[in-house]
Structure 1
């Protein structure tokens, strides 16, 4: 099967269809939690690459970080701009349209670069991570979050890819050792890693998407606020750094430090 990386038109079409934030699930909470846990946000110079909806970037801006979002899909930046306008975040949330592999920033610009759902869309992800390395200050960090290999999502994804039904045309995945190697090959020291499960689960999300097609909208988070959900989330959160659990989780992430 030939590999065809998604181009700008694919992402513009995708974000045009996903512009209703009430229907779109945010990224793994572990991305934002990892940043909050490891950094003092006030005045931190941050870049999100391949911003998508930019919701994590908007939250970091609300908390005092100086945040830039970089994306080459116009419709993605329109979504982020709407959030920026709604919350009046113009002072510390900047939008930049450009190529992640040739970021329009000088060397050693940022304290933190992060992305989620980006590296898996390229046959060779190393040039992307090396570009992240270039624009980071010495002592700065890169957080890379990707889909994990051993998961039912991966099976479904590759069936749809084979049928030419996958939204992005093609996509890969990583085990934790593969992701750590990617980071170290780019020059980073891996200082923190995590994984997270799909919340709510994959089956519920599939049912919810089918519901949209027949005019039925199920709640985004069933049982939200219930004792069951709180206990379940507490247990899952306690296991996010367990190395064995990394082979069961939907997504994994590594925080790398530039020497």
Structure 2
């Protein structure tokens, strides 16, 4: 995985949410949470695995809404942040955080109703094997996001020290087929890259987001989108 040592550092975990989801980044957090809720609902007693759960912002949200959820991550520092979030939310008694490797999931076949991963595949060195493992342990649904190759993200990528893996629609479709999955639904969003929103105040970001969304709703929107959300089913 790209940036694995950086990601597991204690100071990175402590500042992760503040750096990415403050200021204009609040809009990113809101949109990602809405994408997850739309894809995975209804949640009551649904058995869910989150891959690369990080600080637990989705894990805790889903537990609050009645899901039976496990959050798995390679970083113990990130998991500790998630446990603290769960305690503050009062859901630490009905979710589980585990340290583990997404390439070798410690669960039997078809163990979960749904498996999802957000902010994961842009760092994946072997996306096919990761997606195959997600498909293996899911009885029904796999949900994930990608950053798109033919978008403003490709320009922003040049500025990143680690870079990101970018995907075309065709590559995602091949990955789904190889993992024995078929696409149920896809949504495409964010003409402007995430990094732009994180650099500006929330009020200014909202004005840009309105224009971004309006452009995204035109026929050009899907072609210009920098992020895609993929909702697939086990074939």
Contact 1:113 1:132 (8 Å CA) reproduced: yes
User: Please, which of 48, 52, 55 is the counterpart of residue 53 of structure 1?
Assistant: 55
User: In 2, distance between residues paired with 1:48 and 1:29?
Assistant: 18
Aligned to 1:75: 77
Higher radius of gyration, 1 or 2: 1
CA distance 1:189–1:53, change in 2 (3 Å)? same
CA distance 1:155–1:102, change in 2 (3 Å)? same
User: Please, which of 120, 123, 142 is the counterpart of residue 121 of structure 1?
Assistant: 123
**Secondary structure of the corresponding residue to residue 86 of structure 2:** helix
Gap regions ≥5 residues in structure 2: none
Higher deviation after alignment, 144-153 or 29-38: 29-38
User: Please, which of 3, 11, 26 is the counterpart of residue 16 of structure 1?
Assistant: 11
Scaled by the length of structure 2, the TM-score of the pair is 0.83
Aligned to 2:203: 222
**Secondary structure of the corresponding residue to residue 69 of structure 1:** strand
Aligned to 2:100: 98
Give how far 1:246 is off.
2.6
**Secondary structure of the corresponding residue to residue 8 of structure 2:** helix
Give how far 1:171 is off.
2.6
Give how far 1:223 is off.
4.8
- Are positions 1:197 and 2:193 aligned together? no
Aligned to 1:212: none
CA distance 1:145–1:204, change in 2 (3 Å)? closer
CA distance 1:110–1:199, change in 2 (3 Å)? farther
Contact 2:13 2:81 (8 Å CA) reproduced: no
User: Please, which of 224, 228, 233 is the counterpart of residue 252 of structure 1?
Assistant: 228
Aligned to 1:158: 158
**Secondary structure of the corresponding residue to residue 19 of structure 1:** helix
Alpha-carbon RMSD across the aligned residues, in angstroms, is 2.8
Gap regions ≥5 residues in structure 1: 161-165, 209-218
**Secondary structure of the corresponding residue to residue 257 of structure 1:** strand
